[in-house]
A and B are shown apart, each in its own frame.
Chain A
Amino acid sequence: MSAPAPLPLYRCAHCGRLHHPFHDRCLDCKRRDFDIIHPQGNARLLTYTVIVSLPEGFDQPALILGLAEFENGARALGQIKAGSAKELRTGMAVASRWETIRFVNGQPIHGIKFEPLE
């Protein structure tokens, strides 16, 4: 099994709150020192959607997106590798991959892709 996506998580050095994306001050204690860590293990799918009216810059007819929570409590938005929404349900286990999520000026942009494990 491959490692989880190397998504940067910003852990407050004082109170331990996990952040993603970056904030200059901790959302809880307002202090400014963070350790960068990465998610561990799989994630749990909190919610998802299939959008069929896509923004410019995406060529496919539909895009499946979801929010998932990692084992350490961090949450993130990602694209979902599934054929249709029928393969998904909230609460299911998903693996996270770090893959191309779009191209900008021909250059690949990397980010999270969740993959159903059930």
Chain B
Amino acid sequence: MRDVAIIGAGMIPFGHREEDSLTDMLARASLHALDDAGLGESTVDGLYVANAGGGLFQRQFAIASSLADRLSLLPAAAETIENGPASGSSALKMGYLAIASGFHDTVLVSGGEKMRVGPIRRITDMVAAMTHPQAEYPYGVTMPGLGGMFARLYMEKYGVTDEHLLAVSLKNHEMGARNPFAHIRSVATRRDIFDGEMAEINNPILADPLRLYDLCPVSDGAAALVLSTVEIAKASGKPYVTIAGIGQATDTHTLAERDAPTELRAVTLAAQRAFEMARLTPADIHIAELHDAFTILEIAASECVGFFPRGRGGQAAAEGETALGGRIPINMSGGLKTRGHPMGATGVAQAVDIVWQLRHELPADRQVQNARAGLTLNFGGFANNVLCFIFKQGDA
């Protein structure tokens, strides 16, 4: 297997992009990545497009073929990759494999989703369609509903408190406010959403015990990466990042059938496999982007990947260990919580943020000093298909 480099990264601001089509967003993010890689007027060997819901949301499929044409990448090979909310990470994995195997030398990975396409009840229903079609979906369960049931169990078992969830939410709002690519750019205060007289109104319970400020928004957005061999990256003379480890694991479709519904076994396994491949340990990671579709998941995942012992993640967040300047800064993009979670874009966007961190390109209010290794964790479904990536500075 050949080593694989990331030589270009691009993103468009997430949010409600009413004026853009799905292809518009994918094309714009892709052009940013191609320009960043210095390939503005050349092509790539292959294109992997991550999209989960175009068939449902836009009545559009075969999206990669459409994007290859829009971007004048012809006759590059092109595929659309669907793996629910982890589609972006899966597309990145396919791009990695294409180069590592020697099949391609340069690849564009582009992820996007246009989700704000109608009344929230309809969108909630379309997203819930990833739950089990007999044992979950007919009951009216939603992804936040699964998150609420998981949160109650996890909080009871491990002593995670509302204060811990609040700490994650406040941090991710603060970082989102500093991130020009984030969907939600407002700082929340403890008084606004927790103990002020308007807190119950500002921050209502949506999926008990989870509240509005515990859940990611519904967003449109896109992000893209250009991958190449390390030889091509070196020849470019520009800073690059390498993909040092990839791990992936699946778990039961239903939450009910897991031996212990609080154990995110696929997260633990995916991280272990990524660390094994990278020959690194959690202590070697300087910055992480974790799948915080719900605040409780950032806490649980920070334990499963090995940053904190089981039951310590909530307290660690409350003590600032996951904030900028803390022991292991998590979600300095604002995470899914505030950058947003356009499903096909998320895994790619997480990687783009880590690339920017490892190239030390971010403004001081988001940049983790001396970051040389980063990690991303992305869920497809409720932790039933999980990908973990480890990235290193090109010359690290």
Q: Which residues of A contact B (CB under 8 A)?
A: 19-22, 27, 46-58, 63, 65-67, 75-79, 85, 90, 101-102, 109, 111-112
> Is B152's CB under 8 angstroms from A21's CB?
no
Closest Cβ of chain B: how far from A46's Cβ, in Å? Answer: 7
Segment of B53-61, B249-257, B315-323 in the binding face: B249-257
A67–B149 touching, CB < 8 Å: yes
Assess whether B128 is interfacial by the CB under 8 Å rule. Answer: yes
Contact, CB under 8 Å: A21 / B134: yes
What is the bound-complex CA distance between A46 and B153, given in angstroms? 8
List 11 additional A-B contacts (Cβ < 8 Å) besides A49-B210, A90-B152.
Answer: A21-B132, A47-B150, A48-B152, A53-B206, A56-B124, A56-B125, A63-B140, A66-B149, A75-B256, A76-B256, A90-B156
CB-defined contacts of A101 to chain B, threshold 8 Å: 138-140
Interface residues of B (CB under 8 A from A): 119-122, 124-125, 128, 132, 134-136, 138-142, 144-145, 148-150, 152-153, 156, 204-210, 252-257, 261
A21-B135, A47-B149, A77-B139 known; A53 and B144 CB under 8 Å?
A: yes
Check A47/B152 contact, CB under 8 A, given A56-B121, A67-B256.
Answer: yes
A11 vs B140: C-alpha distance when bound (angstroms): 26
Which 3 A-B pairs have CB atoms at the shortest separation, nearest pair first? A49-B148, A55-B125, A21-B135
In Å, the complex CA distance between A48 and B155 comes to 13
Given the interface contacts A20-B257, A27-B257, does A50 sit within 8 Å of B140 by beta carbon?
no
Inter-chain CA distance A76–B134, complex, in Å, is 11
Alpha-carbon separation in the docked complex, A90 to B153 (Å): 9
Closest B-chain residue to A21, C-beta based?
Answer: B135
Contacts of B125 in A (CB 8 A): 55-57
Taking the closest CB of chain A, its distance from the CB of B248, in whole angstroms, is 19
Number of A-B contacts (CB under 8 A): 112
B137 vs chain A, min Cβ distance (A):
9
**CB-based contact B140/A54 at 8 Å:** yes
From B120, B206, B210, B256, A77 is in contact (CB under 8 Å) with: B256
**29 A-B residue contacts at CB 8 Å?**
A19-B257, A20-B256, A20-B257, A21-B253, A27-B257, A47-B152, A47-B153, A49-B210, A50-B205, A51-B145, A51-B206, A54-B124, A55-B124, A55-B142, A56-B119, A56-B121, A56-B124, A56-B125, A57-B140, A65-B139, A65-B140, A75-B256, A75-B257, A76-B256, A77-B136, A78-B139, A79-B139, A85-B208, A101-B140
Neighbour of A111 across the interface among B138, B207, B252, CB < 8 A? B138
Contact A55 B205 (CB under 8 A): no
Distance in angstroms from A52 CB to nearest chain B CB is 6
Cα separation A77 to B120 with both chains bound (whole Å) = 24
Residues of chain B contacted by A53 (CB below 8 angstroms): 120-121, 124, 142, 144, 206-207
Interchain CA distance A56-B252 in the complex, whole Å: 26
Nearest-CB distance from B205 to chain A (Å)? 7
* Nearest CB on B from A99, distance (A): 11
Contacting pair B140 A67 (CB below 8 A): no
Q: Do the beta carbons of A65 and B138 come within 8 Å of each other?
A: no
B122 contacts A56, CB within 8 Å? yes
Q: Could you say which residues of chain A place their CB within 8 Å of the CB of B255?
A: 67, 77
Give the residues in chain A near B140, CB-CB below 8 Å: 51, 54-55, 57-58, 63, 65, 79, 101-102
Q: Chain B residues near A22 (CB, 8 Å)?
A: 134
Instruction: Give every chain B residue within 8 A of A56 (Cβ-Cβ).
Output: 119, 121-122, 124-125
Contacts of B153 in A (CB 8 A): 46-47, 90
Complex CA gap A85/B142 in Å reads 17
Q: How far, in angstroms, from A58 to B144 measured CA to CA in the complex?
A: 16
Residues of B near A90 (CB, < 8 A) are 152-153, 156
**Which residues of B lie under 8 Å from residue A49 when comparing CB positions?**
145, 148-149, 152, 207-210
Q: Please give me the residue from chain A that is nearest to B253 by CB atom.
A: A21
Asked whether B261 lies within 8 Å of A111 as measured between CB atoms, the reply is: no
CA A76 to CA B135, docked complex, whole Å: 7
Task: Enumerate chain B residues within 8 angstroms of A52, measured Cβ to Cβ.
Answer: 204-207
How distant is B143 from chain A, measured CB to nearest CB, in Å?
10
- Distance between Cα atoms of A65 and B140 in the complex (Å): 8
Residue of A21, A57, A63 with most chain B CB atoms under a 10 A cut-off = A21
